[in-house]
Amino acid sequence: MRTSVLITIVLSLFWLPLHAQTVQTDSSSTPDHVIYTVVQQQPEFPGGMSRLGQYISENLRYPKAAQAAGLAGRVFIRFLINKQGAIEKVKVLKGISPEIDAEAIRMVASMPNWLPGKVDGQAVDCFYNLPINFSVR
């Protein structure tokens, strides 16, 4: 009897820190509105990553002035995917130029709803970071 209680306690001590590390909340969270940065099940673009790549290539418009100037690189965008999968709070984490950054924001904001992230099987609000490449061909 005593051994099984000890084993349960020891297993709990290992499981709790591991479980706690599977999810993280954002500093902007409040008790009535929790926003996650790390979830157990990541949000997913409808059709997966290959469809996301296809969506980006079909909908991203390289600004002509930026293209003519040879501006290229990677824009890092952060956005919230809410419990319903809608995109909110789109912002640039690291940009290239105002016109390229604005195009990245426009394209992300126009995306269809995603499958939301989940914690313990429940849909949650969570942030997602997406790098978008701009390259002159």
Nearest CA to 104 among 77, 136, 68, 67? 77
Nearest CA to 107 among 132, 137, 129? 132
23-134 adopts what CATH topology?
3.30.1150
Token look-up 């349960």 returns 8
Amino acid, res. 38: V
Domain positions in the chain: 23-134
Does 8 score more than 90 pLDDT? no
Helix, strand, coil shares, percent, the chain, to 5: 35, 30, 35
Amino acid, res. 59: N
pLDDT the model gives residue 111: 98
Question: How many Cβ atoms are within 10 Å of 134's Cβ, its own excluded?
Answer: 20
Tens digits of per-residue pLDDT, 28-79?
766 778 899 999 999 999 999 999 999 999 999 999 999 999 999 999 999 9
